[in-house]
């Protein structure tokens, strides 16, 4: 009959489950972690193919990593085989374009990877983003095992469910939601980091502590000197707690794939993402997040949500650790005279679906969503940072 519409509501429940392991020297034959991860599901009738992609800087600092991987897989027996010797690619934020993704897809095709195969990715956050993005496209998803090698990727980005590359001057404009098969945080990789990379992951820990865990925030303040002195035990505690807080939010927020508007784990990120683009990657992601936290914390204090002494404590901690407290790009202006970094607010609004939702700390360990930011107030805060 004219005007009648028949509708069927289709509901699909999908459960994702992945292990995050904290270990040391994962490719040592005496460490069972990787073998247990690969073997935890029944193998098909043909051998499981494994392909490793290693960031060039890691291969240079750990010259035996390729050989160790090859020997480890060989020791697992005939049910698991390397499809080829590990491939080595240059990493860094400049990798996050489509051309490397196309190259990676070609490498996966040459290695005849299938949906039962594994791609092991050894590198920092940007490297995990790109290789993970390519792996999520091939056969609509090849299993990824991530081996994050920086403090930031081990405590935040490497344990999450997102991949992405940059386009049109926007951070992670193109990407996928692709939960890994497993994540292995190997503390051995952190020892070869330059100090700048060792410390630049710390702001992400401050971020999640300020909105979710007051005790962890106190721990971070108390541990600042030890982190600056590269105390491995303290960094290990930071990474494990921060990673678990990120994982807990992903699992319990009710919105792991960000279909809604609020993104609490992006506290401090509207400015950070814009600063990364404006500085052409001269600022590390964690460094930019640190500056973003200083801006948004002061904004929260001006709004009466946060004690002002908290802002100073965070600033002092960042200063002691040698994190940048300011970048001259913050003072760049548009022809209208408005600070260019404030365009990051509109970028954020677009990314969130048209309505702005920014997370601010409401005290320490609690959060509040706001749907508007006062650009005049932010301008004063940024100029105060400059002073």
User: What are the DSSP calls for 132-153, one per residue?
Assistant: HHHHHHGGG--EEEEEE-SHHH
pLDDT at 263 over 80: no
pLDDT at 253 over 90: no
Of all residues in the chain, what percent carry a pLDDT higher than 90?
A: 78
Question: In which band, very low, low, confident or very high, does the pLDDT at 262 lie, cut at 50, 70 and 90?
Answer: low
Q: What is the dihedral of CA 36, 40, 46, 51, to 10 degrees?
A: -60
242, exposed or middle or buried, with CB in 10 Å at 0-12, 13-18, 19+? buried
Give the model's pLDDT for residue 25. Answer: 97
Question: In which band, very low, low, confident or very high, does the pLDDT at 254 lie, cut at 50, 70 and 90?
Answer: low
**How many Cβ atoms sit within 10 Å of the Cβ of residue 319?**
12
Which helix (H) or strand (E) is 169 found in, with range?
A: none
Q: What is the pLDDT of residues 160-213, one digit of tens each?
A: 888 998 888 888 889 999 999 999 999 999 999 999 999 999 999 999 999 999
| CA count, 13 A, side-chain hemisphere, 185 | 26
List b or e across 155-166, with b for residues whose CB sees 16 or more CB atoms inside 10 angstroms: bbbbbbbbbbbb
Q: What is the pLDDT of residues 93-149, one digit of tens each?
A: 889 999 999 999 999 999 999 988 999 999 999 999 999 999 999 999 999 999 999
**Among 102-106, 247-251, 317-321, 372-376, which stretch is predicted with the lowest mean pLDDT?**
247-251
Q: What is the pLDDT of residues 321-358, one digit of tens each?
A: 999 999 999 999 999 999 999 999 998 887 766 788 89
How many Å apart are CA 314 and CA 24, to the nearest integer? 31
Higher-pLDDT residue of 13 and 36 is 36
Query: HEC profile for 266-335?
Result: HCCHHHHHHHHHHCCCCCCHHHHHHHHHHHHHHHHHHCCCCCHHHHHHHHHHHHHCCCCCCCHHHHCECC
Three-state DSSP state, 170: strand
How many Å apart are CA 265 and CA 242, to the nearest integer? 11
Architecture of domain 210-386: Up-down Bundle (1.20)
Answer positive or negative: Cα dihedral of 312, 316, 318, 323.
positive
Give the model's pLDDT for residue 250. Answer: 86
Q: What is the pLDDT of residues 288-302, one digit of tens each?
A: 999 999 999 999 999
Q: Considering the chain, tell me which residue range(s) the CATH 3.40.50.1970 domain(s) occupy.
A: 19-193
pLDDT at 43 over 60: no
Give the model's pLDDT for residue 333. Answer: 95
Q: What is the pLDDT of residues 57-75, one digit of tens each?
A: 999 999 999 999 999 999 9
Three-state DSSP state, 114: coil
Q: What is the CATH number of domain 19-193?
A: 3.40.50.1970
Q: Considering the chain, tell me which residue range(s) the CATH 1.20.1090.10 domain(s) occupy.
A: 210-386
Q: Across all residues in the chain, what is the average pLDDT?
A: 92
């Amino acid at each position: 009959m004219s005007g009648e519409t028949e509708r069927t509501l289709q509901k699909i429940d999908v459960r994702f489950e992945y292990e995050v392991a904290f270990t040391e020297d994962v490719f040592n034959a005496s460490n069972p972690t990787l073998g247990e991860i690969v073997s935890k599901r029944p193998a098909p009738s043909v051998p499981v193919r494994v392909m490793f992609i290693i960031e060039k800087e890691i291969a240079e600092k750990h010259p035996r990593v390729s050989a160790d991987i090859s020997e480890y897989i060989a020791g697992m027996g005939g049910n698991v085989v390397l499809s080829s010797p590990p491939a080595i690619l240059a990493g860094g934020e400049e990798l996050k374009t489509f051309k490397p993704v196309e190259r990676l897809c070609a490498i996966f095709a040459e290695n005849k990877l299938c949906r039962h195969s594994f791609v092991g990715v050894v590198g920092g956050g940007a490297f995990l983003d790109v290789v993970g993005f390519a792996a999520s496209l091939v056969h609509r998803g090849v299993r990824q095992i991530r081996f994050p090698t920086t403090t930031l990727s081990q405590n935040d980005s490497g344990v999450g469910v997102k991949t992405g590359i940059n386009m049109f001057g926007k951070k992670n404009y193109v990407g996928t939601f692709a939960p890994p098969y497993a994540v292995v945080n190997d503390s051995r990789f952190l020892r070869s980091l330059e100090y700048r990379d060792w410390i630049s992951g710390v702001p992400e820990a401050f971020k999640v502590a300020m909105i979710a865990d007051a005790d962890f925030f106190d721990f971070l303040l108390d541990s600042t000197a030890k982190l600056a002195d590269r105390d491995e035990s303290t960094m290990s505690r930071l990474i494990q707690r921060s990673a678990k807080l990120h994982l807990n939010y992903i699992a319990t927020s009710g919105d792991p794939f960000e279909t809604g508007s609020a993104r609490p784990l992006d506290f401090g990120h509207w400015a950070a993402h814009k600063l990364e683009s404006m500085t052409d990657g001269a600022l590390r992601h964690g460094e930019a997040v640190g500056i973003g936290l200083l801006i948004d914390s002061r904004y929260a204090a001006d709004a009466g949500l946060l004690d002002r002494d908290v802002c100073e404590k965070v600033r002092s901690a960042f200063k002691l650790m040698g994190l940048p407290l300011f970048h001259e790009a913050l003072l760049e202006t548009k022809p209208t005279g408005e600070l260019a970094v404030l365009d990051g607010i509109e970028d954020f609004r677009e990314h969130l679906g048209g309505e702005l939702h920014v997370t601010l700390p409401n005290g320490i360990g609690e959060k509040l969503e706001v749907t508007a930011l006062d650009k005049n107030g932010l301008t004063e805060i940024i100029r105060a940072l400059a002073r």
